[in-house]
Amino acid sequence: MAEPAAEVDGGSRVEHSEVLIVGGGNAGISLAAKLLREGATRVTVVAPQPVHRYKPLLNYVGGGEATMADLERPMGDVVPEGCAWIRDAVAAVDPDAGTVRTRGGRILRCTTLVLCPGLVEDWAATPGLQEAYADGWAASTYVPGSAPRVWPALTAARDGSVVFTVPPEPASCGPTALKPLLMACDHWRRTGVLADLDVTLVLPAATATGVPRADEVLERAFAHYGIEVLREARVESVDADLHALTVTTPTGRRVLDDITFAHAVPRYRAPRWIADSGLAADADPGLVDVDPATLRHRRHGWIWGLGDAADLRTRPSGGALRTQVAVLSANLAAVDRGMPLQRYDGYTVMPITVGRHALMLAEVDRDGRLTPSVPFLDPIRPRRTTWWFDRYALPQVYWRRILRGRV
């Protein structure tokens, strides 16, 4: 594995890269691989985690259709050949000096900085939720350590109250939190216990996706399974001892108590060092302040952002990342050549399983217009073949092509 060049500057050892990428998820690794394939040199990825996860499969872990082994690889196996990997976390960026400081005290300097660290759980935004996770009656597929507990808890439920939440923005493709809900309801219907369960869904908006045709499909599914939907609602606090959620709605507070199990997704925010370094428009949620079209920072032209932690005015998703990586890599080359920058139209995709083995795809641009990848096939219509592709084919495309910069 490559190492960044280094020199001593003012008594400190400073490591140099042409392109420094903060984040070792889908965005960071696929961008590094693509840049190297296109001839870039001295590319460095800063990522502390030892394990790389294909996160879309976490929802299938929560639906009993996958295991953690299906979605995890050692980070060393996915960092592309020729790329330097610094296993450390970023503590601060000095945009004026052009340097990045890590928690371990390393000083990194680069010509181009790309920020794609992802989002972090904001446990403080929902008091009591972390304690409920520790007690075991709450979990979610969004938190990898708790994902394996979801399906056993859901299949063990025979009566009582079960609550599911969709996280408010920013979140990593929030509507996919519906996957465990609808897979569980299908299971409960087939095993004859659905009528004995009170199933509640807490939505942060009036509808699940904001895409009218997709919402029509989902509304029919909610009605079919007898799900009570609380709209424009958020979990305000959790009483871990009483197994209760306090939810705010347009008509006031409502307490959901005596909960058997809650698939309660925490709120999310960008890592705090982004705002502390002056790279965010707002302190909360602290997303990287980039031009949503070009992905370039609005005030510091050598800094770029993509993925969940960038303010791109669209829902994050793996499909969105593929487009973003293509645009950003092209724009880095365009800057070197003095050419016009390409523009990202906000394309994203929301894959939602509406039954055990039936999946719909809501593919839209930033303005909510449908932009199907296969024009002659209606992606909104739930299909078994679409589910099979999402569960089995796409992960192989991810490991073999996307992370190798070939898509």
In a domain, 335, yes or no: yes
Question: Hey, how many other C-beta atoms are within 10 angstroms of the C-beta on 78?
Answer: 22
In a domain, 395, yes or no: no
In a domain, 148, yes or no: yes
- Same domain for 205 and 311, yes or no, is no
In a domain, 315, yes or no: yes
pTM confidence score: 0.95
- Same domain for 195 and 300, yes or no, is no
Residues 326-346: what's their mean pLDDT?
96
Choosing from 294, 321, 347, the residue where a domain stops is 347
CATH of the domain at 104: 3.50.50.60
- Same domain for 113 and 218, yes or no, is no
Across all residues in the chain, what is the average pLDDT? 95
The answer to whether 116 touches 28, Cβ cutoff 8 Å, is yes
pLDDT for residue 158 is more than 70 = yes
* Host domain of residue 259: 122-267
Residues 360-383: what's their mean pLDDT?
90
| Distance of alpha carbon 375 from alpha carbon 387, whole angstroms | 18
Choosing from 267, 284, 313, the residue where a domain stops is 267
- Same domain for 338 and 279, yes or no, is yes
List CB contacts of 15: < 8 A, sequence separation 6 or more: 4, 5, 6, 44, 86, 106, 107, 108, 109
- Same domain for 221 and 173, yes or no, is yes
In a domain, 379, yes or no: no
Residues 311-329: what's their mean pLDDT?
95
In a domain, 252, yes or no: yes
Strands 43-46 and 12-22: parallel
Q: pLDDT confidence of 203, banded at 50, 70, 90?
A: very high
Q: pLDDT confidence of 9, banded at 50, 70, 90?
A: low
Give the pLDDT confidence of 233-263 residue by residue, as tens digits.
Answer: 999 999 999 999 999 999 999 999 999 999 9
Question: What pLDDT score does 12 carry?
Answer: 65
Question: What pLDDT score does 374 carry?
Answer: 82
Q: How many domains does the chain have?
A: 2
Q: pLDDT confidence of 375, banded at 50, 70, 90?
A: confident
In a domain, 185, yes or no: yes
The answer to whether 292 touches 313, Cβ cutoff 8 Å, is yes
Give the pLDDT confidence of 261-287 residue by residue, as tens digits.
Answer: 999 999 999 999 999 999 999 999 999
- Same domain for 302 and 326, yes or no, is yes
In a domain, 158, yes or no: yes
Question: What pLDDT score does 377 carry?
Answer: 83
